[in-house]
Amino acid sequence: MQKLVIEGGKMLCGELKTQGAKNAVLPVMAAAVLCKGVSVLDNCPSITDSYCAVRIINCLGMKAIQSGGNCTIDAAVLDDNPTIPDRLMREMRSSIIFMGTLLGRIGRCNLYYPGGCDLGPHPIDMHISSLKRMGAQIEDEGEKITCCAPNGLHGCSIALSFPSVGATENIILAAVCAEGETVISNAAREPEICCMADFLRQCGAVIKGDGSGRIVIEGVEELKQPEGEVFGIYPDRIAAATYIACVASAGGEMLLTDCTPCHLEGVIPIFEQMGCYIKAFGSNIYIHKRDTLTAVDTIRTMVYPGFPTDVQAIVMAPLCTARGTTVFVENIFENRYRHTLGLCRMGADIKAEGKVAVVSGVKKLHGAKMDAPNLRGGAGLVTAALGAEGTSEIASTEYIDRGYENIEGNLTALGAKIRRISSG
């Protein structure tokens, strides 16, 4: 068990390189399973979710190694009847996208219901019904799911009832080597889908329209990354938003490099409305916060390009000490206000019920002992602790390590007082 100990009230100042995107590296690794050869990726984040994907690939009989930002996946051979064990499926929600990729590659797989952060129910009905339309037979035996496609997968038209990121990824993965054309309407538009599609195109896939609500995939015989090519994972827009929020909370200034500012179009205006100075240029974002922040009227989480659900807890942290009241409406997940407990322990004034949380700004937060309730909730507590008076202890760091590479090292380099300790 580890804890992050944060002495708040230290201004942040300096430059930080944006890590590779957690939500892109997993689908790209799953896509590499479709390639009959070696794929080389770089800018992979050193986070436990990424290592979990590596372990899944290895347990299916392939060879994956991640070292620093580089990951090599040799998918030349894999098990005849691939099974992802329950313990690995439980580690992250996005493990479900191995269903599409294994059906596409070998026509069968066995897996379990996925786990990950407890954000309320996470049904996979759209994943299952879409893959069934493409010719898969899927037996749901409670916890275990057995899938096969005895006659191979075929293209078809799929209209999603909600633009689910995971379902869109699963369909693309199943469709790239299926027979004929697949058209997804009401597809998710998140940049991580474009990242996966870019990698698949590098390997010979024919995909059009990713980034829009209508994606068209023409099945091809075989995928292979051309020798000598390396695929770079997109920068992490959620980690970028987190470090911007840390500066908004603690004060100071920062140059965030190697990011893609246009992926943060739903987020940057919120920091500007709070009173932060933000300037995006090229692949950099400069942020400066000096004065007291101002509340933002209403923040509604939406599908991309709207305000991301993953940034809700993180942006709430600096708003706890803003002048005025901010209303949050969480439209994507049911159970995503558990971090408010920790924030209130630090002195925040938050009333949360159902989809809505009302944050009334207080003068200051004070240090407290808290538990990270999940990945982004934990990041929100770190963000708040940096701006609070006194010392905070945040336990259950394993959630934070799922998505943030060297968070204490990065914040220390910016001038924060933060250290990791092992506790009983």
Stretch that binds ligand UD1, among 12-20, 118-126, 220-228, 406-414 (CB under 6 A): 118-126
Check residue 374 for interaction with ligand UD1 (CB under 6 A).
no
Site map (CB under 6 A) of ligand UD1, residues 8-47, x = contact: ---------------x------------------------
Distance of closest approach, residue 138 Cβ to ligand UD1, in angstroms: 12
Structure tokens at 171: 């369909």
3-state helix, strand and coil shares in percent for the chain, rounded to the nearest 5: 35, 30, 40
End-to-end CA distance of the chain: 6
Check residue 111 for interaction with ligand UD1 (CB under 6 A).
no
Stretch that binds ligand UD1, among 159-167, 229-237, 335-343, 354-362 (CB under 6 A): 159-167
Helix H or strand E encompassing 350: strand 349-353
**Distances from the Cα of 384 to the Cα of 191, 240, 406, angstroms:** 27, 16, 18
Check residue 237 for interaction with ligand UD1 (CB under 6 A).
no
Alpha carbons within 13 angstroms on the beta-carbon side of residue 409 total: 7
Question: Which neighbouring-strand residues pair with 417?
Answer: 7
Of 25, 26, 88, 93, the one binding ligand UD1 (CB under 6 A) is: 93
What is the CB neighbour count within 10 angstroms for residue 255? 16
Of 8, 9, 166, 235, the one binding ligand UD1 (CB under 6 A) is: 166
Stretch that binds ligand UD1, among 1-9, 123-131, 357-365, 381-389 (CB under 6 A): 123-131
Question: Which neighbouring-strand residues pair with 148?
Answer: 108, 137
What is the CB neighbour count within 10 angstroms for residue 353? 8
Structure tokens at 386: 């940096």
Distance of closest approach, residue 298 Cβ to ligand UD1, in angstroms: 18
List CB contacts of 262: < 8 A, sequence separation 6 or more: none
Residue 316, classed as helix, strand or coil, is helix
Q: Where are the beta strands (DSSP E) in 258-345?
A: 277-281, 284-289, 298-300, 325-329
Stretch that binds ligand UD1, among 25-33, 122-130, 222-230, 268-276 (CB under 6 A): 122-130
CA 93, 219, 187: angle at the middle one, nearest 5? Answer: 45
d(C-alpha 60, C-alpha 78), whole Å: 6
Of 58, 77, 140, 162, the one binding ligand UD1 (CB under 6 A) is: 162
Check residue 187 for interaction with ligand UD1 (CB under 6 A).
no
Contact 386, 250 (CB under 8 A): yes
What is the CB neighbour count within 10 angstroms for residue 262? 11
d(C-alpha 290, C-alpha 303), whole Å: 31
Of 124, 207, 246, 296, the one binding ligand UD1 (CB under 6 A) is: 124
Q: Which is nearer to ligand UD1, 11 or 156 (CB)?
A: 156
Q: Which is nearer to ligand UD1, 124 or 379 (CB)?
A: 124
Check residue 332 for interaction with ligand UD1 (CB under 6 A).
yes
Check residue 126 for interaction with ligand UD1 (CB under 6 A).
yes
Check residue 165 for interaction with ligand UD1 (CB under 6 A).
yes
Check residue 53 for interaction with ligand UD1 (CB under 6 A).
no
Site map (CB under 6 A) of ligand UD1, residues 292-331, x = contact: -----------x----xxx---------------------
Q: Which is nearer to ligand UD1, 24 or 276 (CB)?
A: 24
Check residue 354 for interaction with ligand UD1 (CB under 6 A).
no
230 DSSP 8-state letter = -
Residue 117 designated active-site: yes
Of 127, 237, 289, 402, the one binding ligand UD1 (CB under 6 A) is: 127
Distance of closest approach, residue 313 Cβ to ligand UD1, in angstroms: 11
Q: Which is nearer to ligand UD1, 28 or 418 (CB)?
A: 28
Check residue 242 for interaction with ligand UD1 (CB under 6 A).
no
Contact 358, 327 (CB under 8 A): yes
Stretch that binds ligand UD1, among 77-85, 163-171, 172-180, 377-385 (CB under 6 A): 163-171
Q: DSSP alpha helices (H): ranges in 91-213? A: 98-106, 125-133, 165-175, 191-202
Structure tokens at 237: 């827009």
Q: Name the catalytic one among 35, 109, 117, 177.
A: 117
d(C-alpha 338, C-alpha 267), whole Å: 21
Q: Which residues of the chain form contacts with ligand UD1 (CB under 6 A)?
A: 23, 93, 122-127, 162, 164-167, 190, 303, 308-310, 332-333
Active site members: 117
